[in-house]
Amino acid sequence: MAKTIAEFVIRRWIDTNFYPGSVKVLVEGNTAKITDKNGDTAVLIYDKDTNEVYMLDD
């Protein structure tokens, strides 16, 4: 269960964009680091002003 609104929105975004259980999620504040089975990672940011989640580009 999510502890914050940011975590809730981030996890909902992940559930919409990835196969369930296909990434590990570490949420800290309004950011999350996701890791897939190959060890590839991405960083997600929750923008509270727009209530949207963005994936950071390299």
Tens digits of per-residue pLDDT, 1-28? 899 999 999 999 999 999 999 999 999 9
Cα distance between residue 44 and residue 29, in whole Å: 11
Helix (H, G, I), strand (E, B) or coil at 36: strand
pLDDT bracket for residue 41 (50, 70, 90): very high
φ, ψ of residue 45 in degrees (nearest 5): -125, 135
Sequence-separated (6 or more) residues with CB below 8 Å from residue 10: 25, 27, 32, 44, 46, 53
What is the average pLDDT value for the chain, to the nearest integer?
95
- Shortest CA distance to 55 belongs to which of 24, 31, 27, 25? 31
- Total domain count for the chain? 1
Q: How far apart are the first and last CA of the chain?
A: 30
- Enclosing domain of residue 26: 5-55
pLDDT bracket for residue 58 (50, 70, 90): low
Whole-structure pTM value? 0.90
